[in-house]
Every structure is written in structure tokens, then in C-alpha cells.
Chains A and B, each alone.
Chain A
Amino acid sequence: MKGRIRLPSPRGTFRVWQRNATIFRKFWKTALGPNLFEPLLYLAALGLGLGAFIQEEGIQGQSYPQYIAPGLLASNAMFAASFESTFNTFVKLKIDRVYEAVITTPVNAEDVVAGEYLWAGTRAALYGTGFLAVLTALGFIFSPDALLVSSFWALLIPPLLLLVGVMFSVMGTLFTSLIGRIDLYAYYFTLVVTPLFLFSGIFFPVDDFPAPIPQIAWFTPLYHAVNACRELASGPSIGVLVDVGWMVVFTAALALVPIYFMRRRLIS
């Protein structure tokens, strides 16, 4: 019984998601601000500041702000889901012991984990939608000839960010399910999240590097999230399906592992 992997129930998963949504409704206004502001800082410092030194023709036919804006949408989703599934989940697991209370109800440990995945995805999508709206507006206001978001396909970015959020929630929850001390997250952020942020093709195209750099990048999750966002922001090619497919397979393959470990932590 102990070793058996259990599949979450949709009902229990929804209840856990609903608990988080209830709390989020209370503080979303204060939470949203910094989350919109931070990517704008990157856009200003790098897009405008560094972008001024980048040649006229830009990158792959795009201006530098145009090039990095969709990537920041992807990384913003990664950060939102990573914080949710690391620090926030750790507090609910070990400090407030929210999960301990929840699993004495018909909601099981596996539902708790799945509900948290879905919630992290939702939060990433919500923040991403706000940021997407701001990028679209900024494009119309400041650079109407080179819009930051120029395709109606961009309407698919929020659901894409839901997938990106769930993917990074699975990764963050896996780390959470294995550690005992909150300070160990420094390793996760320094060794996983930050390198992904810098080397996934947000700020420069990794595909132009010599082998094996592009090949390595292909096996990392944010690379595909950035690709997919960029394609949807400016009109996608068929290649976007490969990126989405990669993320779906990666997420599905990994999703049950944190469920297994979290269940073992919650039920002795």
C-alpha cells in the first residue's frame, strides 16, 4: 500500500485549488503589483538600455525589446510557479501544517499536491495575463511600428503559461518534497532557476551557439516555454507544437514523483 502510486481525484484537487483561490482573492491586488513591475524592470534595463547597443537589425528580424518581451512572459511564469511550489508550499507543509489538516478530510495527500500544481499554474497564468496586457499596451503606445505583441495568437499565451506554471510547480514541488530545511531553496534557485532564466534564449538566441549548447538547451524546460511564448506573440510556426509537446510530456512524466514523496512525508 505504501509504495503504491496514487492518482489524484479531480474533486479533491479542485478543493485544494479552491482553498488557495479563496486566500488569493484577499490579497491579489497587493500581490499583482511587484509581479508586473519586475519584468518591466528587465524590459527597461535590458530591452531599452542594452538594446540601444544592439545593431539596427535587432535579433531575428525583431527589435531587442520585441525579442525579449515574450521570453520575460515565460520566465515570469517560471518565477511565480517556483515561489509558489517552494517557499509557499514549504510553509503549508512544515510550518502552518495546512496539509496535515486537509488530509484528515476526504481530500487525500495526492489531491493536495495536484491542487498545488494547478494553483501554481493558475497564478502564473493570472500574472502572465496582466503582464501580457501591459506589454500589448506599451507596444501600441511607444513602438506602434514594432509592436511587442503583434499577433492574435497571443490570446493563447495565458493557457500556455498555465502549462508552464504547472511544469515549474512539479519541479519545485519535487525539490520541496525532498528537503527538510527552508534555507536549501537557495540551491534550487541558484543552480536551477537562475541558470534557466539566463540561458534559455530570453536575452540572446542559444540556437546560434556551437554544439552542444543548443542541444543542451533543448533538454531544459524554460527554453521551450520561451520559444512557445515568442512564437505566439508574433504569429506561430508549426514548430510551436514541438515546444508545447515537449512541456506536456516532461510535466506528465515527472508529475507523479513529487506526489509519491509528498505522500510519504505526510503519511507515516
Chain B
Amino acid sequence: MDTETSERLRTGQREATLEARGLRKSYAGGFEAVKGIDFRVYEGECFGFLGPNGAGKTSTMRMIYGGAEPTGGELTVVGLDIRRDERNVKRRIGVVPQENNLDEDLTVRENLLVYARYFDLPRKLAQARADELLEFVQLTDKRGAEVEQLSGGMKRRLLIARALVNDPDLVVLDEPTTGLDPQARHLVWEKLRELTGRGKTLALTTHYMEEAARLCDRLVIMEGGKVVSEGSPRSLIEQHVSPQVLEFRADRGSLDRLLPVVEETADAVENREEEVLVYTAAADALLEKVEASGIPIEHTVRRQAGLEDVFLRLTGRSLTD
């Protein structure tokens, strides 16, 4: 049974929490940020939108939470048409924006309480949920602090807590760890994994491969407003690249001589400015061959293929460009 089939079996019975068909977004001035994309996010899964800046990820997110109006196609969020049922969609989703927009005039706990009122939560329930969520994101000690006293990581965790105040069916996160230091990033990942563990449906954007690989059950790779591929991280790697990657670094002349040597046996070769990437299932044999050729290589790295390689194969560009 191939991975595609098992994926279909695994997800086939489940309800789509989020579904887009031919979704488009163009802005005043004619810029087309999203050029007709399709995706389907099932209940309980963590779904990623991976792509470089300008790929259309944020525009897609904004359309999901009502921050942008689609210019074409269909978008169904928690079973409701976003155009017809905007308010009810917003009632049932949680949003973690790319940049902090906490209410600076309110304390940490008040941010959650005031936000809960926007959802008409009864006071008692709001208080109980605020305390529970502060515990969850490890900010109980900071409950009375002003927002500006928080570190970047704490603010992001508070944003996550705020997005959960209405116990949403879908949580939308736009680059949840961008700008955080590694420690803070790991803590956010841990919290997001806990959420998926509890069965929450997450849709997140990222330009970090590691993040997508760690968190997402399935993802789409976006580039220039289009979806270029879709699948689980593992199936994307299996589908698009060979399991092993060899990276050769040397001066340009040596690399040019290296190319004909590796091209014969490799599954694919990526010729970049300062390095040559070789995708292969038989790394040992290939390494021997390169050694035998006597071409001077400054530096050789051997590693497992990852999503970055998929992206590179699909678009010819690095994700972090």
C-alpha cells in the first residue's frame, strides 16, 4: 500500500474542517497573491502551508479568518461559507497572527478576559478558561503583568492562549515561531503538539522546514501564489527526492568537473553557485566514484533528504531566499 492510499484511507472518513477550491486573492493595483489554490484540512490534523515569503501564505490565512476577502473561488471554514457566514466562522476559529497584536492597555490576564467577551463567553467561564490557558502556556506567574513586560516568546504564547479562549474548532497560526529564539521556538512547538494531541485542528504557515516536518501531518508547498505539491512530509520527500543527499562544496572549476561524474549515477543533481547537491539512493557508491575521480572537494556533507530538498527540487529556489 503506497502512502497516498493510506493517507486517503486515514483521512477519508473525516470531516473537512477547512476547504478551498480555486481560491484566489488579488489586491487593489492588480497584484495577484493567491492564484487559484485547492486544499482540504481534515478534523484533528495539523496542516501546514510551507513556502518562502511572498508565496501567498499570509493572504491565504487572512482569507480564512476574515482579514481579507477572496476575489475568486470557494472557501469553506468549519463547514461554513466564509462569504456568507463570516461572523459564525469567526466564532468558531482561533487566530494567532504573524505579528503581535495583544492589547497593550490590558494586563496578561485581562487580554484573555476582554477577548473572551468578544465571543460572548459568560464571565465565570471566561475566568476559568483564562486561568487554565495561562497555566497551559506557562504564564500563570505573569497573569498581572503588563503586556510590554513580556519577552517575545511569552507574547507569542499569550497569543496562542488568546486564540484558544473560545475553544475553537480550528486554530489558524501565521508563522507561529518567526522571530523567536530556539528555546522559545521549542516551547511553542511543544504547546502546538499538545494541542494536536488533544485533537485540535491546526492550520499554520511557516518558512521553516523543520517546523513543518515536526508539526504537520500534511502540508502544501506554495510558491508564487500556487500550490506546487501536497502530501505528508514523508510522502513529499519520497515522491520528489531520493532518500540521501550529498553536498559537495568546492571552487567553481572543480564543481564543473564534478558534474559529469555524478550526473551518470545520481537520481538528481542540483547545481548551485557554491555547491552541488546530489540526490541518490546509493550514496556510498557515488562517494567512492567522486573520490576515484580525484577532483578536489573542500567539503562533503552526507545527510537524509528533507523538505528543503523537496522545495528546492520543485521550485529551484531555497525556502529562505
- Where the two chains meet, the residues of A that have a C-beta atom closer than 8 Å to any C-beta of B are 1-2, 9, 11-12, 15, 18-19, 22-23, 26, 96-98, 100-108, 266-268
- Contact yes or no, A267 B69, CB < 8 A: yes
- Contact yes or no, B118 A100, CB < 8 A: no
- Contact yes or no, A103 B105, CB < 8 A: no
Selected A-B contacts with CB under 8 Å, 19 pairs: A1-B69, A11-B120, A18-B114, A18-B117, A19-B117, A22-B114, A96-B101, A97-B99, A98-B103, A100-B67, A100-B97, A101-B115, A104-B67, A104-B97, A105-B90, A105-B166, A106-B88, A106-B119, A267-B67
Which residues of B have CB within 8 Å of A102? 118
State the CA gap A107–B55 with chains docked (Å).
29
State the CA gap A104–B66 with chains docked (Å).
7
Which residues of A have CB within 8 Å of B272? none
Q: Given the known A-B contacts A267-B69, A268-B62, are A106 and B101 also in contact in the complex, defined by CB atoms under 8 Å?
A: no
Q: Is B275 located at the chain interface by the 8 A CB criterion?
A: no
Which residues of B have CB within 8 Å of A1? 69, 83
State the CA gap A159–B119 with chains docked (Å).
29
| Shortest CB distance B171–A (Å) | 11
CB proximity to A under 8 Å, residues B96-153: 97, 99, 101-106, 110, 114-115, 117-120
- Where the two chains meet, the residues of B that have a C-beta atom closer than 8 Å to any C-beta of A are 27, 62, 65-69, 83, 86-88, 90-91, 93, 95, 97, 99, 101-106, 110, 114-115, 117-120, 162, 166
- Contact yes or no, A106 B118, CB < 8 A: yes
- Contact yes or no, A103 B66, CB < 8 A: yes
Which residues of A have CB within 8 Å of B90? 104-106
State the CA gap A101–B117 with chains docked (Å).
13
Residue of B nearest to A99 (CB): B101
Q: Given the known A-B contacts A101-B97, A108-B86, are A267 and B68 also in contact in the complex, defined by CB atoms under 8 Å?
A: yes
| Shortest CB distance A22–B (Å) | 6
Which residues of A have CB within 8 Å of B102? 101
Closest 8 pairs (CB-CB, A-B): A105-B118, A104-B95, A97-B101, A101-B101, A23-B105, A106-B91, A268-B68, A107-B118
State the CA gap A26–B162 with chains docked (Å).
22
Which residues of A have CB within 8 Å of B103? 19, 96, 98, 101
State the CA gap A170–B102 with chains docked (Å).
26
Which residues of B have CB within 8 Å of A11? 120
- Contact yes or no, A15 B117, CB < 8 A: yes
Q: Which of A19, A101, A103, A266 has the most C-beta atoms of chain B within 10 angstroms of its own C-beta?
A: A101
| Shortest CB distance A24–B (Å) | 10
Which residues of A have CB within 8 Å of B27? 268
- Contact yes or no, A22 B101, CB < 8 A: no
State the CA gap A104–B86 with chains docked (Å).
10
